[in-house]
Amino acid sequence: MITRERVSLVVPIYNEEQNIPLLFEEIVVAMADVTPDYELILVDDRSTDGSFGQMLRLVRRDPRVTCIRLRRNQGQTAALSAGFDHASGTYIIAMDGDLQNDPADIPPLLRALQETGSDIASGWRRHRREPFFRRRLPSRIANWMISRLSGVKLHDYGATLKAYRRSLLNQVRLYGDHHRFIPALAARYGARVVEVPINDRRRRFGRSKYNLTRAFRVIIDLITIRFLLRYLTRPVHFFGIPGLLAFLTGGAIGVFLLLKKIILAVDVFTKHGPLMLLSVLLIIAGIQLICFGLLGELLTRIYFEGGNRTIYTIDRVYGQADMSDEDLAIGSAPAPEVSPPDA
């Protein structure tokens, strides 16, 4: 046994019908060495194939399995977030539901957490099996940029397979597609992160839900994360400092032109037209930036003092104990044929 504490596994699922039964078998095998006290939380991101039925089938079979069904497809981050909030373990493992992550890597991740006393053990796919130009290259660049801008240096932000201490994860609120940035966001709370090499496997069933446009979204997200990490508690510095500089420069130019007009009686309007325009622009822009900063300060207070909002909306949570006859009927439909793809 690796731990006496409870372990929660959280797996987001969007159309992974054929992968679910295999994933479950692999998890059972891997967890046998870890602890008998674990739960598997499958979050159905409103799949449109037979995934939900597969999940209910597992819920029916095994009391350790819970299925959370979201009201509509809300994305991987929202699905993970729903799972994290429902997890009761001391440790939380997040992993993909497409068998690309290998449950056999769970024991080393947990061991790394315990041995180093870290808060996050982050999976590092050292030998990735995906196409170079479409996947690995953009991911390399992204990892380098996120590491530089967030100050948390990791080789692989993109791997979902990570182990977390729940006490830490509960502090991090997730928005948009931010799940990959958890180690960077958690650094704000003083999280310690270790990297553990993990296995990367080819997707055998179903299709990837992302394309190359994800690279652009990651870059935009990175700007947000950088802003949040540095200025969340003091937005007035972000906006106010350039604002003040603009205001002072514009003011100085204005005073210079005014003196020139009064003392030297120069017709500044015709002689220094562009400069006057610049002065006015800088003053207005400066005032606006300072006001942005002040608004930001107000928003920050609302953010920290406001109620507990979530980015997901749950339809229902299915545990073995509270399933109705109707649910049981869904879960007991015959399993779809699963045949090895290269057979």
Point out which residues bind ligand UDP (CB under 6 A): 12-14, 16, 45, 73, 75-76, 79, 96-98, 100, 208-210
Q: 123 is in the binding site of which of Mg ion, ligand UDP, none (Cβ under 5 to 8 A by kind)?
A: none
Residue 299, amino acid = L
Q: 66 is in the binding site of which of ligand UDP, Mg ion, none (Cβ under 5 to 8 A by kind)?
A: none
Dist. CA 61–CA 53, nearest whole Å = 12
Helix ranges (DSSP H) in the chain: 19-31, 51-61, 76-86, 106-116, 137-150, 166-169, 182-186, 213-231, 235-264, 268-271, 273-305, 325-331
Q: Which is nearer to Mg ion, 128 or 188 (CB)?
A: 128
Q: Which is nearer to ligand UDP, 100 or 118 (CB)?
A: 100
Place of tokens 């207070």: 301
| DSSP label at residue 118 | -
> What DSSP string describes 184-253?
HHHGGGT--EEEEEE-B----SS--S--THHHHHHHHHHHHHHHHHHHTT-HHHHHHHHHHHHHHHHHHH
Q: Which is nearer to Mg ion, 46 or 166 (CB)?
A: 46
* 45: contact with Mg ion by CB under 5 A: no
Nearest approach, Cβ of 182 to ligand UDP (angstroms)? Answer: 15
Nearest approach, Cβ of 203 to Mg ion (angstroms)? Answer: 5
Binding Mg ion (rule: CB under 5 A), the pick from 18, 66, 100, 143 is 100
Binding Mg ion (rule: CB under 5 A), the pick from 17, 44, 98, 200 is 98
Q: 320 is in the binding site of which of ligand UDP, Mg ion, none (Cβ under 5 to 8 A by kind)?
A: none
Interacting residues toward Mg ion by CB under 5 A? 98, 100
